[in-house]
Amino acid sequence: MANDASTVFDLVILGGGSGGYAAALRASQLGLDVALIEKGKVGGTCLHNGCIPTKALLHAGEVADQTRESAQFGVKATFEGIDIEAVHTYKDDVISGLYKGLQGLIASRKVTYIEGEGRLSSPTSVDVDGRRVEGRHVLLATGSVPKSVPGLDIDGDRIISSDHALKLNRVPKSAIILGGGVIGVEFASAWKSFGTEVTVVEGLKHLVPAEDENSSKLLERAFRKRGIKFNLGTFFDKAEYTQDGVRVTLADGKTFEAEVLLVAIGRGPVSQGLGYEEAGVAMDRGYVLVDEYMRTNVETISAVGDLVPTLQLAHVGFAEGILVAERLAGERPVPIDYDGVPRVTYCHPEVASVGLSEAKAKEIYGADKVVALKYNLAGNGKSKILKTAGEIKLVQVKDGAVVGVHMVGDRMGEQVGEAQLIYNWEALPAEVAQLIHAHPTQNEALGEAHLALAGKPLHSHD
């Protein structure tokens, strides 16, 4: 195996997704000599098969819903249907523009970009298509792929993953979605807007089960109103082909039939056969184990992103990649507080949160030390204008800081920026209440909620 022209990089990164390219850009900015290895397209899952394309589909669905419902705003419009090829063109144009911009960024930062399938060959080297790339440090950032369940074969036609769903050349008349987490409810929302009859199957007792239970219940109520069906609390048993679709049977014997079955039970790490274990890297169920500074048990190897058992979010990958780059450059980065990371599910209505759920806060601080307040968006002028319903729920340690913000409603993802400042700066309700929020905005609802929690509600009842 030939070395790469005797060059020894300061940092060799295996994987060009969110975590990998963020580390490359920041490390290069800090003066490190960086090699970035990617077998597909830089940008990874988020840009090409995740965050960006799904949100484009969801926005197309939003436009479809607004067209159907325009008469309630005094606007006459006729909805003639979904041109799925045109939707894909719009989606792909968004991806293409961002992809070109990212390629330009990497070139401008003088990162050595190596296209090819890499494999860790030692604690300080990666082999790429017959070429050995040496580094003083190696960052593993090989990401994740859609998961399935044992015995359920994804064929890409009737039984599909999210990757297939993003490229589907038709709008299915009916769909069963296995999994009621973020991926499942986002596709349920988009497809319903496109005209698909949707049934979500979730084995746990609520949709978006990682969220505060109140948020889950609000989303379930909204989905019922939209005509999105769901079955909760019973696990999947088997799937079989029918004459023109798929039949799903649950553990209790209940069956559902549809044109397609989308398997949306989450994503698993890409680590098998890449030389990690041979190099001595500690693993657990395919994940690479790391400490709070993203260091593995091997001194010269770090890992970030979906490959490690932290939140599978692109912005978490960015932060982890930046942390590694700054640590290697001699900076003193602060470990990530994962509770303080904003989380958004971009269905209609959106679900956004940061911090602890009420249940988790009670578990940590004690039930008698936790206060929760709900502010209904019915009292918010801009939400009335938009005709969106929902709530903002605050979780506070009694006489102390706000430790959780949970929001349900259209555009709530745009409000989570202030919410994360409130949590991460350990703000008291009275401190937020004294800030002036613009009127009329949905952002104002956050201020109103804190006014109420501080004991001086304005547009809400005592």
Q: Which residues are part of the catalytic machinery?
A: 439
Strands 125-128 and 391-397 come out as unpaired
3-state secondary structure 114-133: EECCEEEEECCEEEECCEEE
CA distances from 62 to 230, 349, 350 (A): 21, 10, 12
Count H helices and E strands in the chain, helices first: 13, 26
DSSP, residue by residue, 60-123: HHHHHHHHHTGGGGT---------HHHHHHHHHHHHHHHHHHHHHHHHHTT-EEEES-EEEEET
Residue-wise burial string across 291-321, b where 16 or more C-beta atoms lie within 10 A, e elsewhere: eeebbbebebbbbbbbbbebbbbbbbbbbbb
Q: Cα–Cα distance between 376 and 372 in angstroms, integer?
A: 13
User: Three-state SS for 369?
Assistant: helix
**Closest-CA residue to 301 (of 314, 287, 282):** 282
**Closest-CA residue to 212 (of 394, 446, 50, 49):** 394
Residue-wise burial string across 364-397, b where 16 or more C-beta atoms lie within 10 A, e elsewhere: ebeeeebbbbebbbebbebbeeeebbbbbbbbbb
Max Cα distance, the chain (Å): 74
DSSP, residue by residue, 296-317: -SSTTEEE-GGGSSS---HHHH
